[in-house]
Amino acid sequence: MFALPLGDRAELRPLEPWRAEEFLANLDRCRAHIAPWVGASFVAADLDGARHVLRRYAERVATDSGGIWGIWLDGTLVGGVLFVSFDAASGVAEAGCWLEESAQGNGLVTRAVGYLLDWAFGVRGLSRVEWRTIAGNERSIAVARRLGMSRDGVLREVNPGPDGRLDDEIWSLLAREWRAGDPAGR
């Protein structure tokens, strides 16, 4: 197992199926906060659901099509980052995140996604990493900007929402842009 530092009190580690109870406790603490921004299939409601989500990402790691890593702050899982999709053959991946409200404002997601970008571009040789967010998710958009991503456009009314359909913003970063600087400030 590895752990990468995200600051004095935080680290990034693999989030594996055996951590389902810890993952569920994290989701229980942040469910209302993240529900408007993440897919319902991710926000597990019980232990079996949490195991299912983590197994799904473990299978993606095994098939080289995604992955999930947790962010621990003071020894408590407070969120994480993931490759929602990862396609080495096409050179494109989609990254995402979730974080408890109490852990926001510490740069944890920006630094964690920075590690994913270093690996995707530097080790795996990807050309492009995308960041998709529901329009209006200002914290997610701020992460994209801090990482040096460009807003590619909007997919209008692509997501169902409680009060109607929602737009999705697409942000991206190219390998050559990432190599040109270090906007994540690691």
Looking at residue 27, its pLDDT comes to: 95
Fill in the amino acid letter for 76: T
What is the CATH topology of the domain spanning 4-180?
A: Aminopeptidase (3.40.630)
Task: State how far Cα 103 lies from the chain centre.
Answer: 15
- According to DSSP, the β-strands at 92-99 and 128-134 are parallel
Q: What does the domain layout of the chain look like in residue ranges?
A: 4-180
11-44 as b/e: b if 16+ CB within 10 A? bbbbbbbebbebbbebbebbeeebeebbeeebbb
What's this model's pTM, rounded to 2 decimal places? 0.92
The 10s digit of each residue's pLDDT in 14-52 is 999 999 999 999 999 999 888 878 877 778 899 999 999
Q: Could you tell me if 127 and 164 are in contact, meaning their C-beta atoms sit under 8 angstroms apart? A: no
Identify the three-state secondary structure at position 96: strand
Q: Could you tell me if 43 and 52 are in contact, meaning their C-beta atoms sit under 8 angstroms apart? A: no
Cα distance between residue 100 and residue 109, in whole Å: 11
Looking at residue 182, its pLDDT comes to: 52
Work out the number of other CB atoms within 10 angstroms of the CB of residue 87: 14
Cα distance between residue 155 and residue 134, in whole Å: 9
Written as tens digits, the pLDDT of the chain (186 aa) is 689 999 889 999 999 999 999 999 999 999 988 887 887 777 889 999 999 999 999 999 999 999 999 999 999 999 999 999 999 999 999 999 999 999 999 999 999 999 999 999 999 999 999 999 999 899 999 999 999 999 999 999 998 877 889 999 999 999 999 988 755 443
Region of 97 please: left (phi>0), alpha (psi -120 to 50) or beta: beta
Looking at residue 186, its pLDDT comes to: 39
Looking at residue 38, its pLDDT comes to: 82
